[in-house]
Amino acid sequence: MILFEDALPIRLKKLVRLMVKIKTALIVVALPILPITFFFVVFFRYILERDLFAYEEWLMPICFWMFFLASALGTYQDKQINADLLDAFTENPKLLWLRKLSITFIELVITLFVLHWAWLMLADEIAAYPRWKTTIALKIPFFVPRLGIFVGIFFMALYSALAVYVYLRVGPVKYLETVQAHKLAEAEAEGA
């Protein structure tokens, strides 16, 4: 969707860019926590001959949040793994646009089902308050990582819905022109 971001209304485009910046900042800040923690685990275990207390309990929510926010960014940037070979067989703009629109629409429908299940999981957790399930040592509520799951899937659905809207708005000719211009720019960047 990132290639067609300019087809969004101006306020929505600004909001989407802000959300992407926030998610990126959260991931950039949280990412170093993992290797630093494992460094201290090794240091404590093999140098000090002690254990780092309950590190897996506070890493779990961080990992869930990072994974699902990064998945939302992958949806936004259209960087999911893809085994589609239709691009190699045809240059028909209408067929390529229709294929991309269909794939994105199917992705949206599936993501909405998963979002519903994520909401049910979160609602179940909310209904259990104040007797939330918690981690054993640090008593971190399972609500925290489950909220990360819901938020990440929500943004995946949002970006898929925006992509369907944008693909319908730009149409097949503009779609193909933009994709080809992007591929040309990538090829020039790699060759430079």
Q: What is the pLDDT of residue 86?
A: 66
pLDDT number for residue 83 = 67
Q: Which amino acid is at 37?
A: T
What residue ranges of the chain have pLDDT lower than 70? 1, 83-88, 192
pLDDT score at 38: 92
pLDDT reported for residue 179:
84
Single out the residue of 138, 156, 123 nearest to residue 61, CA to CA: 138
For residue 141, the cross-strand partners are 134
Distance CA 185, CA 190 (A): 9
The confidence score (pLDDT) of residue 87 equals: 67
pLDDT in tens, 50-102: 998 999 999 999 999 999 999 999 999 988 777 666 666 777 889 889 989 99
